Amino acid sequence: MVEWNKRHLLDVEELTKEEIQQVLDTAKSFKEVSSRDVKKVPALRGKTVVMLFFEPSTRTRTSFELAAKRLSADTINIAVSSSSMSKGETILDTARNVEAMNVDAIVVRHGSSGVPQILANNLKSSIINAGDGCRSHPTQALLDMFTIKEKLGKLEGIKVGIVGDIMHSRVARSNVVGLTKMGVEVTVCGPSTLIPFGIEKLGAKVCYSVEEVIKRSDVLMLLRIQKERQKENYFPSIREYAMEFGVNAERLKKGKKELLIMHPGPMNRGIEISSDVADGPQSLILEQVTNGVAVRMAVLYLALGAKE
């Protein structure tokens, strides 16, 4: 393994194929830690990791916090919407104040694309992107790659379909970029109104028929459809969305028997995914969550040990 030289993790795009491979390999060795009786290694003892979340999150924040704790780092959570931002403080001031307490890494989530980059440009700490706007959610893409590779033994040549609101999804963007980099053939699917312009240039194919995508895929990744998008007229009704793009056991019969189902959560059962699929034998949804901790341990470990 080469020496890791990136203090930040802002986007999947900045990682080379080899670096992605290195994160996945590192995560593999950390996954075992979480299955021990004593779920802790001293790798980041004495380091402080701050979870700076400007958007509500349960899964990602908990996952990062557990990842840091299992590496023996000290952690603290700041949910910003409830404190200083309401008093008119800028994002940078909030982050600078946090950093002034000598923290080593800031895990940040923000509703506006680019905030992690802005922090990285101005702060000395390691910045780990836990999701920014519609742009990037690199640890989700990494844990998805880890999960697929663990199940199928490889990424190269695998066919992945991503179904849902591609336009507003940072998970979709990061996965398209990351998966194609690893030799995966990615097809995005959803109402044409929710497929952003230029997605083909990112390497994805576009298909408007979910049944076609089911037929051709090894892995199907379903995204949460937000009800607000209907109010913004991106599609006629939740009902029509469920009928045209929702995945249920009946539709899955059109695909391979071993087709794997993933969802980054939280799910809208009965809309983009039916319960018989979410809870069925092909579902990897909870394994994704388990693997999330291992992948985030790897990311924190590598970033905090980086030599620039």
Partner 1 sequence: MMLLIKNAKIVNSDGIDDRIKDILIQDGKIVKIGENLKSDGADIIDAKGKFVSPGFIDLHAHFRQPGQEYKETIETGSAAAAKGGFTSVFCMPNTKPPIDNIALVDFIIREGKRVGLVNVYPVGAITKGQQDEELTDMFEMRRAGCLMLSDDGKSVHNSHLMRMALQYSQMVGILISEHCEDPLLSKTGVVNEGYFSTLLGMKGDPAVSETTIISRDIELAHYLDCRIHFAHVSTKRSVELIRRAKTDGVKVSAEACPHHFSLTEKEIRSFNTNLKVKPPLRSEEDVAEIKRGLKDGTIDCIATDHAPHSQEEKELDFDQAPSGMIGLETAFGLGITELVDAKILTLPQLIDKMSASPAKITGLSAKGKIAEGMDADLTVFDSEAPWQVKAAGFASKSKNSPFIGKTLKGLVLATICGGNVVYNVE
In this structure, what token pair is assigned to residue 154? 């490889």
Q: Is 188 in the site for partner 1 (CB under 8 A)?
A: no
200 binds partner 1 (CB under 8 A): no
Q: Does 208 contact partner 1 by CB under 8 A?
A: yes
CA distance 116 to 109: 8
Which DSSP state fits 185?
E
Buried (b) or exposed (e) across 138-160, using 16+ Cβ within 10 A? bbbbbbbbbbbbbeeeebeebbb
Identified binder of partner 1 from the candidate list 1, 233, 253, 266, rule CB under 8 A = 233
Nearer to partner 1, 15 or 134 (CB): 134
Q: Which stretch binds partner 1 (CB under 8 A): 100-108, 133-141, 238-246, 286-294?
A: 238-246
Q: Per CB under 8 A, does 236 bind partner 1?
A: yes
C-beta separation of 116 from 10 below 8 A:
yes
* Shortest separation between residue 231's beta carbon and partner 1, angstroms: 8
> Least Å distance between CB 303 and partner 1?
40
How far is 142 from 302, CA to CA, in rounded Å?
14
Among 191, 246, 264, 265, binds partner 1 (CB under 8 A): 191
Per CB under 8 A, does 246 bind partner 1? Answer: no
Task: Kindly give the residue spans of alpha helices, DSSP state H, lying in 153-248.
Answer: 170-181, 210-216, 228-231, 238-245
Number of residues that bind partner 1 (CB under 8 A): 15
Rounded CA separation 210/118 (Å) = 38
Nearer to partner 1, 190 or 265 (CB): 190
Which residues of the shown chain bind partner 1 in the complex (CB under 8 A)?
A: 191-193, 208, 230, 232-237, 239-240, 243-244
